[in-house]
Amino acid sequence: MWIILACGLSEKDSSGKVIKGKLTFSRTNMLSRSIHNFFSYHLYAVMKKKAMNIYTVFAGGDDLFLVGRYDEVIKTAKILYDEFARFTNNNNEITISCGIGFYNDGSPVWFMADDAESRLESAKHFREKGQEESIIKGNISLLYGEYKYALFLKEYTVFQEKIKYFDKHIDISHGLLYKLINYCDMKMEHEKEQKENKSSINLNNLLWRSHFHYVLGRLNVKNIPKDVILKEFTGSLKKEIILYFTNFIEVNAVLLKTLIALHLYNERNK
């Protein structure tokens, strides 16, 4: 953000090539004031209207520090993302990143601020796998890693819908979810060993897929829809569950582990 405030926005042709800069004192001043007003006034008004149970420690310039219950903070993160996209008219040159930390009751505010700032820096320097040389803006750091801001919000919503649907027909117990977290760890450990080019790898980490198939195969199906064949419905449902979770673990085990942990937090605090 500070680069934009210092250098302004550029004008581009249809191919995306910069043809001239727009840096003038008046434009830079207007941009700075607009961003300040967004974080200091507009966002506060939106959160108040939506009755978000959030305490604003600091809001000004291009910075924001909020404290609240974890689920309220995540909801606010979505509001922040949506409102800022609307504020910039979906201009992908102006993006935001954020760090969200979890803390025990009574944790000092200075400690939370330092940790959240550290997470924010991790989010700013996050690069997707295979794109380490690219500048990827608009990230979020939460629990076990960093993710694209938009991707996290999308997958967070889809995951909640999937779990609700699966649990309607198969008992998605806490035990199964903890096993899924373990499978994510196995996948992540295997990727770490590959990245470090270790001469010997733990072959047990490659068995997460077969373990998942075995565990899911032993689960009973419930709430069978009328006029369906039990065997076909069971096979189709378990195949859908296997495809969703195995593909997720293959592509982004860290994000899935985070989403499962958030779901377990929600279940524990109901």
pLDDT tens for residues 140-159? 888 888 888 888 888 999 99
Residues pairing with 88 in the sheet: none
Length of the chain: 270
pLDDT tens for residues 30-66? 777 777 777 777 777 887 777 778 887 877 666 778 8
Given a cut of 90, is residue 257 above it in pLDDT? yes
What is the distance between the alpha carbons of residues 178 and 257, in angstroms, rounded to a whole number?
9
pLDDT band at 3 (very low <50, low <70, confident <90, very high): very low
Task: Report pTM.
Answer: 0.76
pLDDT tens for residues 197-248? 766 777 888 888 888 888 887 777 766 666 555 556 567 777 888 888 888 8
Q: Taking a C-beta distance cutoff of 8 angstroms, is the pair 38, 30 a contact?
A: no
Residues in contact with 123: Cβ distance below 8 Å, sequence separation at least 6, in sequence order: 97, 98, 99, 139, 140, 141, 146
Q: Taking a C-beta distance cutoff of 8 angstroms, is the pair 56, 66 a contact?
A: yes
Q: Which amino acid is at 128?
A: E
pLDDT tens for residues 98-118? 888 888 888 888 888 888 888
Q: Which helix (H) or strand (E) holds 1?
A: none
